[in-house]
Amino acid sequence: MKKFLNEFKEFAMKGNMIDMSIGVVIGAAFGKIITGLTDCIITPLIALIINAIFHVESTDQLFSSIVVGPFPVGQLISTVIDFLITAMVLFAIVKAINEIQTLGHKEAEEEAAPTTKVCPYCKSEIAIDAVKCPHCTSDVE
Ligand SMILES: [Zn+2]
């Protein structure tokens, strides 16, 4: 959980607005799918589980009672599950973006690896694997 928070903080601090927008848009899209999923599968499943525990006569009656009320617990449970799944999906997206960014940074660092060195005698920039300076003809390591 601490790692999660740190990574999120890092993302929130370093991530630019485009990354964030992508995350939010994908999250919203996933949110709709997840809402559909919970409405179609998880809520009826909760009804079935409750039915199995309490042996209610009619599953339809129970289902409608937990979804529409008088105490729409099903709605609340669905919303909580929606939130949890959406948060997990968002975190996965955030993590993926973080990894892509880290990869990008690593590549940039590798590209920035020195290809030249400075001649200790004339201070000219010479090839990293040069053994003789082309400027002052000194022997270099
Ligand atoms: Zn030199």
**Ligand 1 centroid vs 137 CA: distance in angstroms?**
6
What protein residues have CB closer than 5 angstroms to ion ligand 1?
119, 121-122, 124, 133, 135-136, 138
Mean pLDDT over residues 99-110, rounded? 70
C-alpha 118 to ligand 1 mean position (Å): 8
User: What's the 114 CA to ligand 1 centre distance in angstroms?
Assistant: 18
SS3 state of residue 139: strand
Ligand 1 centroid from CA 20, angstroms: 50
Per-residue pLDDT band at 135 (split at 50, 70, 90): very high
Give the pLDDT score at 83: 75
The C-alpha atoms of residue 35 and residue 47 are separated, in whole angstroms, by 16
Check if the beta carbon of residue 124 is closer than 8 Å to that of residue 138: no
- How close is the Cα of 50 to the center of ligand 1, in Å? 83
The pLDDT tens digits of the residues spanning 6-15 come to: 777 766 666 5
| Residue pair 65/57 in contact by the 8 Å Cβ criterion | no
Q: What is the DSSP string of 60-91?
A: HHHHHHHHHSSS-HHHHHHHHHHHHHHHHHHH
114-124, pLDDT tens digit by residue? 888 999 999 99
Centre of ligand 1 from the C-alpha of residue 115, in Å: 16
Q: What is the mean pLDDT of residues 104-121?
A: 77
Name the percent of the chain lying above pLDDT 70.
Answer: 63
Confidence of residue 82 (pLDDT cuts 50, 70, 90): confident
Residue that wins the pLDDT comparison between 101 and 66: 101
112 Cα–ligand 1 center, Å = 23
Per-residue pLDDT tens digits for 24-77: 777 777 777 777 777 777 777 777 777 677 666 665 665 665 555 555 566 677
Q: Ligand 1: distance of its center to the CA of 44 in Å?
A: 79
Domain definitions of the chain by residue range = 2-113
In this predicted structure, what is the pLDDT of residue 103?
73
